[in-house]
Amino acid sequence: MFSELVIPHRTIMTPGPVEANPVALKAMSSRILGQFDPAFLTIMDNVKEMIKLPFGTTNKEAFAIDGTSRSGLEASLIALIEPGDKVLIPAYGRFAYLLGEIAERAKAEIMYLEKDWTATFDQQVVIDAIDEFQPKIVAMIHGETANGQMQQIDKIGQHCRNNDVFFVVDMVATYGGVPLHVDEWCVDIAIGGTQKCLSVPAGMSLVTYNDRVEAVLNSRYQKELGLSKDDRNDNHISSNYLDLSQLQRYWSSERINHHTEATSMVYALHEGLRSIINEGLENVYARHALNDKAIIAGIQAMGLGFYGDLSTKMPTVTPVMIPDGVGDGEAVRELLLNQFGVEIASSFGDLKGKLWRIGNMGYSSRHENVLHVLTALEGALTYYGAPIKQGEAVKAALVIYENN
CB of 77 to a second copy, least distance (A): 10
Query: 357: annotated binding-site residue?
Result: yes
Of 10 and 181, the one with the shorter C-beta distance to a second copy is 10
Cα–Cα distance measured from residue 57 to residue 187, given in angstroms and rounded to the nearest whole number: 10
Of 290 and 342, the one with the shorter C-beta distance to a second copy is 342
Query: According to DSSP H, which parts of 221-316 are helical?
Result: 244-251, 263-279, 281-302
Of 66 and 378, the one with the shorter C-beta distance to a second copy is 66
Instruction: Say if residue 17 is preceded by a cis peptide, omega within 30 of 0.
Output: yes
Of 156 and 247, the one with the shorter C-beta distance to a second copy is 247
CB of 267 to a second copy, least distance (A): 6
CB of 317 to a second copy, least distance (A): 15
CB of 335 to a second copy, least distance (A): 13
CB of 159 to a second copy, least distance (A): 26
Q: Where are the beta strands (DSSP E) in 107-243?
A: 109-114, 137-141, 143-144, 149-150, 166-170, 189-193, 205-209
Q: Which of 238, 105, 311 is nearest to 97 (CA)?
A: 105
Cα–Cα distance measured from residue 339 to residue 357, given in angstroms and rounded to the nearest whole number: 19
Please tell me whether residue 143 adopts helix, strand or coil conformation.
strand
CB of 23 to a second copy, least distance (A): 10
Cα–Cα distance measured from residue 249 to residue 55, given in angstroms and rounded to the nearest whole number: 21
CB of 366 to a second copy, least distance (A): 14
Buried b (16+ CB within 10 A) or exposed e, 222-240: bbeeeeeeeeeeeeebbee
Of 185 and 267, the one with the shorter C-beta distance to a second copy is 267
Cα separation values, 283 from 201, 275, 367, 372, 378, Å: 22, 12, 15, 22, 30
CB of 93 to a second copy, least distance (A): 9
Of 39 and 116, the one with the shorter C-beta distance to a second copy is 39
Of 134 and 233, the one with the shorter C-beta distance to a second copy is 233
- Other Cβ atoms less than 10 A from the Cβ of 7: the count is 6
- Residues with Cβ within 8 Å of 345's Cβ and at least 6 positions away in sequence, in order, are 14, 15, 356, 357, 358, 359
Of 61 and 261, the one with the shorter C-beta distance to a second copy is 261
Q: Which of 176, 109, 165, 112 is nearest to 142 (CA)?
A: 176
Cα–Cα distance measured from residue 128 to residue 377, given in angstroms and rounded to the nearest whole number: 43
DSSP 8-state assignment for residue 163: T
- Residues with Cβ within 8 Å of 21's Cβ and at least 6 positions away in sequence, in order, are 198, 199, 200, 271, 272, 275, 362, 363
Q: Which residues are annotated as a binding site for substrate?
A: 357
Annotated binding site: 357
